[in-house]
Amino acid sequence: MTWDEAKRRLEQRDGVKEEIGKCELEFKMLDEFITAMAEQNISQDELKEKIGTNQDIVSDIESGLFHTAMELIQKIGDAIGKKPVVKFV
Protein backbone atom coordinates (compact mmCIF):
# COMPACT_ATOMS: atom_id res chain seq x y z
CA MET A 1 0.00 0.00 0.00
CA THR A 2 1.38 3.42 -0.91
CA TRP A 3 1.29 6.48 1.31
CA ASP A 4 -1.43 8.05 -0.85
CA GLU A 5 -3.64 4.97 -0.49
CA ALA A 6 -3.10 4.81 3.26
CA LYS A 7 -3.74 8.55 3.56
CA ARG A 8 -7.11 8.30 1.79
CA ARG A 9 -8.21 5.56 4.19
CA LEU A 10 -6.98 7.34 7.30
CA GLU A 11 -8.50 10.70 6.38
CA GLN A 12 -11.96 9.19 6.70
CA ARG A 13 -11.50 9.10 10.48
CA ASP A 14 -12.40 12.11 12.64
CA GLY A 15 -9.50 14.46 13.31
CA VAL A 16 -6.99 12.39 11.37
CA LYS A 17 -6.84 14.66 8.30
CA GLU A 18 -5.49 17.59 10.32
CA GLU A 19 -2.88 15.44 12.05
CA ILE A 20 -1.74 13.92 8.76
CA GLY A 21 -1.28 17.39 7.34
CA LYS A 22 1.18 18.17 10.11
CA CYS A 23 3.51 15.36 9.09
CA GLU A 24 2.70 14.72 5.43
CA LEU A 25 6.18 15.70 4.26
CA GLU A 26 7.71 13.09 6.51
CA PHE A 27 5.29 10.39 5.33
CA LYS A 28 5.94 11.21 1.68
CA MET A 29 9.69 11.14 2.28
CA LEU A 30 9.41 7.73 3.95
CA ASP A 31 7.27 6.44 1.09
CA GLU A 32 9.84 7.68 -1.45
CA PHE A 33 12.71 6.21 0.58
CA ILE A 34 11.12 2.78 1.03
CA THR A 35 9.95 2.63 -2.59
CA ALA A 36 13.40 3.58 -3.90
CA MET A 37 15.07 0.93 -1.75
CA ALA A 38 12.62 -1.70 -2.98
CA GLU A 39 13.01 -0.66 -6.63
CA GLN A 40 16.78 -0.92 -6.36
CA ASN A 41 16.55 -4.11 -4.28
CA ILE A 42 18.84 -2.57 -1.64
CA SER A 43 18.80 -3.93 1.90
CA GLN A 44 19.38 -1.83 5.00
CA ASP A 45 22.79 -3.45 5.33
CA GLU A 46 23.75 -2.56 1.75
CA LEU A 47 22.51 1.00 2.17
CA LYS A 48 24.45 1.57 5.37
CA GLU A 49 27.62 0.51 3.56
CA LYS A 50 26.91 2.80 0.59
CA ILE A 51 26.25 5.88 2.73
CA GLY A 52 28.79 5.16 5.45
CA THR A 53 26.53 4.90 8.47
CA ASN A 54 25.29 2.13 10.73
CA GLN A 55 22.23 -0.03 10.26
CA ASP A 56 20.49 1.48 13.31
CA ILE A 57 20.36 4.87 11.55
CA VAL A 58 18.99 3.32 8.34
CA SER A 59 16.41 1.39 10.36
CA ASP A 60 15.39 4.54 12.24
CA ILE A 61 14.92 6.43 8.97
CA GLU A 62 12.90 3.59 7.45
CA SER A 63 10.62 3.36 10.48
CA GLY A 64 10.08 7.12 10.76
CA LEU A 65 12.04 7.64 13.97
CA PHE A 66 14.68 9.89 12.39
CA HIS A 67 12.62 12.93 11.57
CA THR A 68 14.21 16.05 13.07
CA ALA A 69 15.35 17.41 9.69
CA MET A 70 11.95 16.80 8.12
CA GLU A 71 10.24 18.69 10.93
CA LEU A 72 12.61 21.62 10.41
CA ILE A 73 12.03 21.64 6.65
CA GLN A 74 8.27 21.65 7.24
CA LYS A 75 8.57 24.57 9.68
CA ILE A 76 10.66 26.52 7.18
CA GLY A 77 8.05 25.86 4.49
CA ASP A 78 5.28 27.03 6.79
CA ALA A 79 7.25 30.16 7.69
CA ILE A 80 7.80 31.16 4.07
CA GLY A 81 4.38 30.05 2.84
CA LYS A 82 5.71 27.25 0.64
CA LYS A 83 5.14 23.50 0.59
CA PRO A 84 8.34 21.42 0.51
CA VAL A 85 8.36 18.48 -1.89
CA VAL A 86 10.64 15.46 -1.60
CA LYS A 87 11.21 13.02 -4.44
CA PHE A 88 14.02 10.67 -5.39
CA VAL A 89 14.60 10.80 -9.14
- Tens digit of pLDDT at every position of the chain (89 positions): 777 888 788 888 888 777 777 777 777 778 888 888 888 898 888 888 888 888 888 888 777 776 667 777 777 777 778 887 877 77
Contact 87, 32 (CB under 8 A): yes
Residues 22-46 as b or e (16 or more Cβ within 10 Å = b): ebebbbbbbbebeeebeeeeeebee
> How far is the CA of 84 from the CAs of 12, 51, 80, in angstroms?
24, 24, 10
Instruction: Provide the residue type at 1 as one letter.
Output: M
Distance between CA 35 and CA 5 in Å, rounded?
Answer: 14
